[in-house]
Structure 1
Amino acid sequence: MGTPKDKVKFNVGGRIFETTATTLAIAGENSLFRAMLDENWNVHSDPAMTEYFIDRDPDYFAVLLNLLRTGELYIPPKIDKYLLYREAEYCGILDHVRLAKWGPFDGNRAQLAQPITDWSAANGTLAYTIRASPSGWCCLAQGSVVRVYDWMLEEHPIIHIAHHKVRDICWVDDKHIVISSDKRLANGGMRLFNASTGKSRCKFQVTDKSSGLAPFSTASTLDFGSDYKLFSSCENGDEHHGIGNWDLVTGKLINFHCSPPHLSLKKASRLQWLPGTNCLMAFYLDCTKVDIILFDFRDNTTVRLLTEKHDRPCDRTIQDAIVIEESSSICALRWNGALGFMDLRSTARGVNWRNTEDPFASPYFPKLAYHEGQLFSSFNNRISVHSGSDWLRTSQLRHSDFGAIHDYSIGGNRLFSLQSTGNIINVWETPRPPII
């Protein structure tokens, strides 16, 4: 129970609210309320002042104050939820709204939320890549543009890449993305952008003279590691390939790991930074073979974990691979939806395959993801969720109205799936359990 000294009075748009400093402290360090109650917030304020005036809508303020009091978010019918989210952002408590709206993402309890449908395939160009941010935003590549949607699923200014096709997108924090494109210039077509405004922040130099790569080398597949490290698979017209490592703060190239001649590697299909081992996993998929490689930038060593050769492109079996550091294993995904696992600690590495999802079906860009102890695999128009130590399939996320799943991404307690037809982004969320 609050003491008299603990009581705080607000005048919000002419309506009086009374609460306690204890309740307001729940808002957190970066909130408006913490700043207002700080003794250094306004050096000209009257020490005897007992009422704080806030020039905002009192109806929306009442909803947010009740959220701080109870931990639950109740939005009356007369309240516009998007305006409420903006008020929460103004007060610095948007994280509380997100936490009250849904809990940590759990594929076994995920529910389909409002889809994103307000974008079009201009000139017949379909979107093919989607990436989720740590705060529930998402961005998608569509030809030479990148579309960005915030937590409220509202679109921000489109990022145009000067008529050059976007190769990959990577979130480096809540506000910034790196985009690689086909632009064959000295900067390799790789830039850092403010996701909210669409403005370019800096370029990244791709060329490394010591590696012998030509100055028009380009970056493609991206990943972001610890200590502000940015990684990209690079190539040039002379068929030289390798992995670059940049300092995100300075934009300078730190190291370039050339692919050894005996590996004959092309552009990586996936890069994955492994913080537990300080290595980078690269998955290569081309017309003749599949390679899974570990790069250690500390001593410039390369370890080939798996190679699978093909006589024809249609013979390819492995379509994607991902490292699960918690179990020291690699999960691989076959064209027919089957999962295979390989022990990273064993020198005699081999893939232990499970039964197929459907031996006669042909999937559409199958892909793996790992999030908070759950493994996800896409297959045609559904995403399977695998849980437990044996990675048994425990549920499926499926929406059959808009074709197969082209790509999907998990971040900010949301899963975004990009459908191959219908210009639809499905959004999956996990409702928060009721407070008892």
Structure 2
Amino acid sequence: MDFFYESPGWSLGDADKLQWLGVVYNCLLVATLFPRKDNCYISLLDFRSRDMVWSWSDMGAPLTLTVVDEKRVRDAVAMEEANSICVVNEYEDLGFMDLRMMMGSRSTSTGSISWSSRSRLMKGVMPDEPCYPKLAVHGGQLFSSMNDCISVFCGSDWVLTSRLKRGYGGSICDFSIGGDRLFALHSEENVFDIWEVTPPPIVL
């Protein structure tokens, strides 16, 4: 057993998500997200050196309506092949951080997210029992769940290529991808969906 002692003011012990980056970086992504904490924290830990090699937080960001209402990070996922971290807010807007720039700085950042607004129409049409969005990466594709739908993005610009939706079972609480199957758990009791995951389109 090994222990990693968090920096003062950080929240590793309250983490919502862990992801091992074993292809390029050999680091552990640790994310503590809203609403578990009032502020969001994302860090990369190197257990070989017992060092936090990079960290990001919205603590100290300007407390404007835009930041508070729209830019709260609800989930995060690292994409090693794209050298980036993707985050999502409650309206399924995606944000990206360049890992190459961040790892070079080895510092704490508060404003290095490049947001891409994709779903302004979602505002005002939230279901009665909304579930927070979830992110996953599989086979070079980015998956983002929102309410009762899963959006699939691919390509260097992460273009929306398809949406998976059933129309019953309520909001999607969580999902997982194994092999060529995507398993989605809905908010209504004992409702699962299983989809076949198609490979990304070939760009000539």
Q: TM-score, normalised by structure 1?
A: 0.38
User: Which residue does 1:293 correspond to in 2?
Assistant: 43
User: Which residue does 1:160 correspond to in 2?
Assistant: none
User: Which residue does 1:306 correspond to in 2?
Assistant: 56
Task: Give the Cα separation in 1 of the matches to 2:52 and 2:197.
Answer: 40
Q: Is the 8 A contact 2:85 2:98 kept in 1?
A: yes
User: Which residue does 1:271 correspond to in 2?
Assistant: 18
Q: Is the 8 A contact 1:403 1:422 kept in 2?
A: no
Task: Give the Cα separation in 2 of the matches to 1:339 and 1:328.
Answer: 16
Which structure would you say has the larger RCO, counting Cα contacts within 8 Å and 6 or more residues apart? 1
Q: Is the 8 A contact 2:151 2:164 kept in 1?
A: yes
Matches within 5 A, 1:336-347: 336-346=91-101, 347=105
Match of residue 334, structure 1, among 64, 89, 92:
89
1:305 aligned partner, one-letter code: S
Tell me whether 1:359 sits opposite 2:123 in the alignment: yes
Q: Is the 8 A contact 2:11 2:41 kept in 1?
A: no
Matches within 5 A, 1:169-188: none
Matches within 5 A, 1:98-109: none
Match of residue 148, structure 2, among 374, 381, 385:
381
Match of residue 393, structure 1, among 131, 144, 160:
160
Task: Give the Cα separation in 1 of the matches to 2:30 and 2:198.
Answer: 35
Task: Give the Cα separation in 1 of the matches to 2:31 and 2:43.
Answer: 7
Task: Say if 1:430 and 1:355 are closer, same or farther in 2 by CA, change over 3 A.
Answer: closer
Compute the displacement of 1:304 (Å): 4.0
Tell me whether 1:410 sits opposite 2:177 in the alignment: yes
User: Which residue does 2:31 correspond to in 1?
Assistant: 283
Compute the displacement of 1:360 (Å): 3.0
Match of residue 419, structure 1, among 163, 181, 186:
186
- What count of residue pairs does the alignment treat as equivalent? 177
The residue matched to 2:168 in structure 1 has which SS? helix
Compute the displacement of 1:327 (Å): 1.2
Q: Is the 8 A contact 1:284 1:292 kept in 2?
A: yes
Compute the displacement of 1:266 (Å): 3.7
User: Which residue does 1:26 correspond to in 2?
Assistant: none
Deviations 1:316-353 (A, max 9, x none): 71100011001110000111110010101214761110
Matches within 5 A, 1:20-419: 253=1, 255-275=2-22, 276-285=24-33, 286-309=36-59, 315=69, 317-346=72-101, 347=105, 350-357=112-119, 358-362=122-126, 363-419=130-186
Task: Give the Cα separation in 2 of the matches to 1:361 and 1:330.
Answer: 28
Task: Give the Cα separation in 1 of the matches to 2:144 and 2:198.
Answer: 22
Q: TM-score, normalised by structure 2?
A: 0.79
Q: Is the 8 A contact 1:291 1:304 kept in 2?
A: no
The residue matched to 1:295 in structure 2 has which SS? strand
Unaligned regions of 5+ residues in structure 1, if any? 1-252
The residue matched to 1:345 in structure 2 has which SS? helix
Q: Report which of the two structures shows the higher radius of gyration computed on alpha carbons.
A: 1
The residue matched to 2:78 in structure 1 has which SS? strand
Task: Give the Cα separation in 2 of the matches to 1:303 and 1:403.
Answer: 40
Deviations 1:167-187 (A, max 9, x none): xxxxxxxxxxxxxxxxxxxxx
Deviations 1:195-222 (A, max 9, x none): xxxxxxxxxxxxxxxxxxxxxxxxxxxx
The residue matched to 1:342 in structure 2 has which SS? strand
Q: Is the 8 A contact 1:322 1:369 kept in 2?
A: yes
RMSD (CA atoms): 2.2
Give percent identity, aligned residues only: 41
Task: Give the Cα separation in 2 of the matches to 1:265 and 1:304.
Answer: 13
